[in-house]
Chains A and B, each alone.
Chain A
Amino acid sequence: MRNIATLLLLGGLSFLLLVITGGLLFGNPPMLIGQGIQQAAPTEVGAANIVTAVVLGYRGLDTLGELSILFAAATAGGLVLGSTRGRSGRPGGFILRTGVDLLFPLMLVAGLYVVMHGHLTPGGGFQGGVILAAAFFLPLLARPQESLDHTWLSVIEALAGSAFIALGLAALFEGRAFLTPLFDHGVLGALVSSGSLPLLYLAVGLKVGAELASLLVRLSADDEGAS
């Protein structure tokens, strides 16, 4: 009975959605703002990766909102799960520990590389931030007794987020709108180019990394005695 109901719901919903979306312009979108951004972005922002120009330039406020959402989720997660106590479990074997030790600097470099090249190639603060979080979290899986210093994580969290806002406010103090990109654009495609965008992505990467690392640590912690 239940399965029939499920099937009916599935069929009805897909029929509805297909009818609603049928006859849309496929593969040939209107691109009213997309077209404008593509033409203006190289001169206005100077990032070779136009998605980055949109994420940090044209829609920079969305990115700030997104960082705030991650922060809100981590804060709420802290409120729900409470402070972490400790982690139990046997330490990993020799191979696991050595492997993780070798992997750690590699992942750190890879994460920072992805963050710093976000304005040139695919990648950027979010992807790099996730890699950074994983880099700091993996050693904890190998050595459950050790713990990540929460004070440091929260300091990085707070300062990286504030740095993003401070870069936006700096433009405001110069008499321009909030989050206007600063500095010269430089040469399109060069590492040091597109003004303050790499700095913004660095702030995003650190914030995302710290936020996700603290979320992971909290989820992997043991229960401090069921309440």
Chain B
Amino acid sequence: MNWAIGLVMFVGAVGLSVIGIAGMLMSNHLFRMVLALAVAEAGANLLLILAGYRWDAAAPILLPGHSTQAMVDPVPQAMVLTAIVIGVGVQALALSLVIRVRQHYATLDMRVARQRMQDALDQAAGVVPPRSQEGPAGERPLPAPTRTIEAGGPHD
């Protein structure tokens, strides 16, 4: 029956990765994108652990007495330890950036923030933004923000 457990978890790992990645791609809310990233990472970590799972084996810790027992692969576990800690560091940095974006542009909507960034960059460079054109190739064309943009400037 242990074999089936691995299969069920595998479905879970794929599901978590897909939900996370799709969330990152579909959402326009800065904070929710960070949350979706955490979900996607959990899925990837689970898949990595599954890559070293043996259904007939014990945890990779030597206990005095029974040292001959088969053990699951310790290498993916070490990799996932590394990946989890990396993930939390990146998450903290992402949230710092979200806080700053919110302070500067008073929004948590990626499309609004991006539009304001483009305008600011165009202004700093001294070119009038080409309103009529779509974004350059290789970029997701972005629909016009539906929400009315409140007056610029910091919110709080």
Contact = CB atoms under 8 A, between A and B. Distances in A.
Nearest to B11: A18
Interface of B: 2-3, 6-7, 10, 14-15, 17-19, 21-22, 25-26, 47, 50-56, 59-64, 67, 71, 73-75, 77-79, 81-82, 84-86, 88-90, 92-93, 95-97, 99-100, 103-104, 154-156
A59 interface: yes
A104 to B, nearest CB: 23
A21 B7 CA distance: 11
A5 B22 CA distance: 10
Most B C-beta atoms less than 10 A away, residue of A5, A31, A48 = A31
8 contacts: A5-B26, A34-B73, A34-B74, A48-B62, A69-B90, A77-B96, A126-B81, A208-B85
Nearest to A11: B18
A51 B81 contact: yes
A28 interface: yes
Contact of A73 (B47, B54, B90): B90
A66 interface: yes
Contacts of A50: 60-62, 71, 74
B93 A80 contact: yes
A5 B26 CA distance: 9
Contacts of B100: 80-81
Contacts of A34: 52, 73-75
Given A28-B54, A81-B100, A37 B14 contact: no
Given A34-B75, A51-B81, A188-B62, A227 B103 contact: yes
Most A C-beta atoms less than 10 A away, residue of B21, B25, B71, B85 = B85
A185 to B, nearest CB: 13
A18 B11 CA distance: 8
Most B C-beta atoms less than 10 A away, residue of A5, A38, A72 = A38
Interface string A47-79: 011110111001100110110011011101100
A37 B74 contact: yes
Contact of A26 (B6, B19, B82, B156): B6
A218 to B, nearest CB: 7
Nearest to B52: A29
Contacts of A109: none
B17 A17 contact: yes
A63 B82 contact: yes
Contacts of B156: 223, 226
